[in-house]
Amino acid sequence: MQTLDAIIIGSGFSGMYQLYSLRDKLGMTAKVLEAGSGVGGTWFWNRYPGARCDSESHTYMYYFSKEIIQEWEWSERYPQQPEILRYLNFVADKLKLRSDIELDTRMSQAHFDEATNRWHVKTENGKEYNAQYLITAVGCLSSANMPKIKGLSDFKGKWYHTGQWPHEGVDFKGKRVGVIGTGSTGIQAIPVIAASAAHLTVFQRTPNYSLPARNAPLTPEFKKYAKEHADDIRKIMTTNTNGHGFYIEDKSALEVPEDERLKAYEKKWEQGGFQFRALYRDILTSAEANETAAQFIRNKIKQIVKKPEVAELLADIDHPFAAKRPPVDSHYFETYNRDNVSLVDIRKAPIECITANGIKTTEHEYPLDIIVFATGFDAMTGSLVKLDVTGRNGRTLREYWHAGPRTYLGLQIPGFPNMFTITGPGSPSVLCNMPPAIEQHVEWITRCIKHMRDKGLDCVEVPESSGDAWQAEVDAAANATLLPKVKHSWYLGANVPGKPQVFMPYAGGLSHYRDICEEVIQDNYRGFEFH
Ligand code: N01
């Protein structure tokens, strides 16, 4: 059994920065346990065609190191998965992290020993560790949601979930392919699969808004600007509600005359990306303001898609714009103008089963060679619950969260002392550009651990009352927006049958959340208990 100061689970953006912070800034002993055979987390697993980041590259990176900012160079406005994976490998080498990352090592169990205030951790490959701190860096979207559709084992073709994509890739040439799911992932993958498949059938349950990315190679001028103005960009990211590198306008959509508003939407549509959502401050809080944006996008869909019945199906959207995470695409709607692409409305005629030859809905059987499940994730809680963690009084996390997650600030869970969750439920995380949200969490946790070391404290935990009070804040923040209006959203856990429906992320904004976390520290770690 190896004795350490900290065990960190996962080597994506979070785990790597947490390792660096504890080991290199505080001089502690720490190891990262990583189930995959390489670093990168989400970007190690999600290798589906078209996988790319919806945040702009110059903001989708660590900002804690000036050296990394200066040495790394992105090639495109939105980086593709291989480029992000190269970036994370570059960081692992640059910070000499590899010697403390155990690859191919899946944690199988962790148990808190109340007598010593330490965690006892076991791995599937028989290693054991004893550590004061257990820090989960498992990501919010890393536990695949595979729908249980009758007959999948009879299917004679091949099938894949986008979040567990084969490293060698998949050849769609000459194949009849079916994609289930039109969330951010499906919308990225569909145009790329359509370009090589013989035929692509998209099975759509809920139509979705999507914003054009307008991806392009970065110009030398922009690359120079991003390096020279890194501090300014970081400052904007710190103030932006969602951690992006642009400002959110302070105007209401309703105070602008319609022709002016349409021109402004058109301009943002042409610019591409999430800036569209930032055009008016009330797009996510006022149903009326939201409808102006929603209507604009529905009209765009109808203009782009040539076959009126297909356009109608794609634009028949039942929720406010951006109340589900809005996808950002490269030629998604245009793809439906191809002769080799068809759209099936499984809201009207649901999938009945999978047969040996393909997918059968209540109306028709669709012969397929390959099925792609772009069906998302058991978000935020799935990967944590799977860890088999036992806290105080022998209570497991699965038992504790049976009615939904409870955390304090998304950072700690009542009954799980000395355990921190990077971007856990109750944090703004998934509503944000992830790297700045991750940096804030890692830096907060590192400060808390340093505080304990400086004061000679052994144990930090949060009482139930802190968890209850924070969940009330999470609910209030969500209810001040249109986000809970979508009943089939993964933010609520509604995409996983049987999952308790609790609004999971903190919707009060990253900048406000950062202030709350800072006040908590200034107020002598209000809501935490040390001993
Ligand atoms: O998953 P989703 P995702 N039968 O849950 C459908 C992030 N991300 O992987 O809406 C039929 O959004 C489901 O239908 P419905 C981003 O935060 C980031 O696309 O439940 N259909 C939906 O259409 C995103 O939000 C990037 O009716 C079924 C789709 O599958 C999050 O990941 C890139 C079904 C699932 O959509 C998740 O996106 C990509 C069933 N049984 C993703 N079950 C970046 O830019 C589900 N569906 C970094």
pLDDT reading at 112 higher than 90: yes
* pLDDT band per the 50, 70, 90 thresholds, residue 487: confident
- Gap from CA of 273 to ligand 1 centroid (Å): 18
Q: Which atom of ligand 1 is nearest to the CA of 495?
A: 20
User: In whole angstroms, how far apart are CA 522 and each of 233, 412, 518?
Assistant: 27, 18, 6
| Residue among 56, 76, 88, 141 to mutate when testing ligand 1 (max atoms within 8 A of CB) | 141
Q: Which atom of ligand 1 is nearest to the CA of 51?
A: 33
- Report how far residue 177's alpha carbon sits from residue 175's, in angstroms, rounded to the nearest whole number: 6
- Gap from CA of 373 to ligand 1 centroid (Å): 9
Q: Whose CA is nearest to atom 34 of ligand 1?
A: 375
Residue with tokens 């914003």: 211
Question: Helix 287-304 vs helix 308-315: angle between axes, to the nearest 10 degrees?
Answer: 160
Identify the pLDDT of residue 498: 94
| Residue 176 CA from chain centroid, whole number | 30
* pLDDT band per the 50, 70, 90 thresholds, residue 488: confident
Helix (H, G, I), strand (E, B) or coil at 165: coil
Identify the pLDDT of residue 502: 94
Task: Report if pTM > 0.90.
Answer: yes
Residue ranges lining ligand 1, Cβ < 6 Å: 53-54, 141, 147, 180-186, 188, 205-206, 325, 346, 374-377, 430, 488, 490, 495
Rounded to 5°, the CA angle 190-366-45 comes to: 35
Identify the pLDDT of residue 340: 98
- Gap from CA of 121 to ligand 1 centroid (Å): 32
ipTM of the complex in this document: 0.99
Provide the sign of the torsion angle of the four alpha carbons 152, 158, 160, 166, taken in this order.
Answer: positive
* Residues whose CB falls within 8 Å of the CB of residue 187, separated by 6 or more in sequence, listed in order: 208, 210, 327, 329, 332
- Report how far residue 284's alpha carbon sits from residue 295's, in angstroms, rounded to the nearest whole number: 14
pLDDT tens digits, 398-419: 999 999 999 999 999 999 999 9
Among residues 204, 225, 289, the alpha carbon closest in space to that of 252 is found at 289
Contact predicate 331/362, CB 8 Å: no
Residue with tokens 């508003």: 261
Residue with tokens 């951006």: 322
Rounded to 5°, the CA angle 414-419-420 comes to: 95
- Report how far residue 526's alpha carbon sits from residue 333's, in angstroms, rounded to the nearest whole number: 49
pLDDT tens digits, 317-352: 999 999 999 999 999 999 999 999 999 999 999 999
Partner residues linked to 459 by β-bridges: none
Partner residues linked to 367 by β-bridges: 358
Among residues 376, 510, 384, 489, the alpha carbon closest in space to that of 435 is found at 510
| Residue among 160, 375, 432, 438 to mutate when testing ligand 1 (max atoms within 8 A of CB) | 375
- Gap from CA of 498 to ligand 1 centroid (Å): 17
- Gap from CA of 182 to ligand 1 centroid (Å): 6
- Gap from CA of 385 to ligand 1 centroid (Å): 20
DSSP β-ladder status, 529-530 and 460-461? antiparallel
Number of continuous H segments (helices) and E segments (strands) in the chain: 16, 20
Among residues 137, 161, 141, 104, the alpha carbon closest in space to that of 382 is found at 141
Position 252, amino acid: S
